[in-house]
Amino acid sequence: MVRNAHHILSDERGVAATEFAFLLPILLLLVMGIYESTRFVLFSQKLDRVAYTVADVTAQQTAVTNADLSDIVTAATKIMEPYEFGELGRVIISSVYQDPDDGPVVRWQYAGGGTLPRDSLIGDPGEPATLPDGFTLNDEDNVIVAEVFYYYTPPFSEDYLSTRENYKTAVFKPRFGALTTAPN
């Protein structure tokens, strides 16, 4: 009997399988974490690119119409692929003018790209503008501000990690004169 116990305790067959069984959940969590982290970094870069592109292309116009802005926002949704805006995202374009008497004011605004119910953090048309920290304008300056909102849901761990709102903004000065007239 003692001999059988000694034989069983000294038997090393199956040790690798047992160790693998202990490590497999850890390895799977590690791989899923790396996948989700990489996916979020790429998503964040796309969101930056959308904000930058929307502000840049809008600032290149000599005048804007609602059709122009609709086309720009449609292009933004293509940049975000494979992520769809739908109910998860929204793009807001604002024209901010530095009034010598009243400070920065939102002159006009266009929202599109998705149906996410978000208001601009810059402000509403005709109201004072809340510009990003450290950003100032000279009197009679005009800038185009693009804001992008998107709710990101992790592909694997949505039960453990909550859906997270992401917000990106980009500011460009119009190249060919002020864009302070509201689009029609």
Per-residue pLDDT tens digits for 136-177: 899 999 999 999 999 888 776 655 666 678 999 999 999 988
Cβ contact 88:130 at 8 Å:
no
Per-residue pLDDT, 67: 94
For the cut 70, the answer to whether the pLDDT of residue 110 exceeds it is yes
Q: Which residue has the higher pLDDT, 21 or 109?
A: 109
3-state SS class at 70: helix
pLDDT of residue 126: 92
- pTM (2 decimals)? 0.82
pLDDT value at position 144? 96
Is it the case that residue 8 has pLDDT exceeding 90? no
pLDDT tens, residue by residue, 22-79: 889 899 888 888 888 888 889 999 999 999 999 999 999 999 999 999 999 999 999 9
Residue 2, pLDDT above cutoff 80: no
pLDDT at 121 over 90: yes
- pLDDT reported for residue 15: 76
- What's residue 11's pLDDT? 63
Measure CA 126 to chain center: 27
Answer yes or no: is pLDDT of 19 > 90. Answer: no
Closest by CA position to 121, among listed 136, 138, 109, 134: 109
Q: Are 76 and 53 contacting, i.e. CB atoms less than 8 angstroms apart? A: yes
- What digits encode the pLDDT tens for the residues 85-101? 889 999 999 999 999 99
141 burial (CB, 10 Å; 0-12 / 13-18 / 19+) is: middle
- Taking alpha carbons only, the member of 90, 105, 91 closest to residue 178 is 105
